């Protein structure tokens, strides 16, 4: 039924932990979003290019590359440059936060994630990216 909704927004969830990816997929689907899952940076870049999601939730620690590198590549490609990217990280470091925001992330969310707040914040992040 959610697939039939023409205005359903799609989130690309990039996370190499299966358990976390599954938990976030359920959370996002319950909130009414379509969810694409990727476990590596390469898969994330391919899916972003093919499916043009409304937002990318991006784990910063990936097996094949860094989240920061994925953001830079998304923002450098004209097709994907306007997609909102939200960094998810286990490192609560000011230098990392600044680097993510400088690379074009809409937000920097430190784990453990407050999922209720995350779901509340998603529409605003998407709107900001669409306006920019």
Site map for Ca ion, 3-42, x if CB under 5 A? -------------x--------------------------
Q: Which residues pair with 13 in a beta bridge?
A: 37, 57
Q: Is 61 in the site for Ca ion (CB under 5 A)?
A: yes
Give the shortest CB-3-to-Ca ion separation in angstroms: 28
CA atoms within a 13 Å half-sphere pointing along the CA-CB vector of 68 = 10
**Smallest distance, Å, CB 79 to Ca ion?**
25
Q: State whether the Cα torsion 71-85-77-37 is positive or negative.
A: positive
The residues pairing with 37 across neighbouring beta strands, listed in sequence order, are 13
Which of 44, 59, 68, 105 touches Ca ion by CB under 5 A? 59
């Amino acid at each position: 039924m959610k697939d039939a909704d023409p205005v359903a927004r799609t989130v690309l969830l990039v996370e190499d932990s299966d358990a976390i990816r599954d938990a976030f997929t359920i959370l996002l689907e319950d909130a009414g979003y379509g969810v694409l899952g990727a476990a590596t940076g390469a898969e994330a870049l391919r899916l972003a290019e093919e499916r043009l999601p409304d937002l990318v939730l991006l784990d910063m620690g990936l097996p094949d590359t860094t989240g920061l590198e994925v953001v830079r590549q998304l923002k450098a490609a004209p097709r994907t440059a306007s997609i909102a990217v939200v960094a998810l990280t286990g490192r609560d470091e000011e230098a990392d936060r600044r680097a993510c925001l400088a690379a074009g992330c809409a937000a920097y969310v430190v784990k453990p994630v407050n999922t209720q707040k995350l779901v509340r914040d998603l529409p605003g992040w998407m709107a900001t990216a669409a306006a920019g």
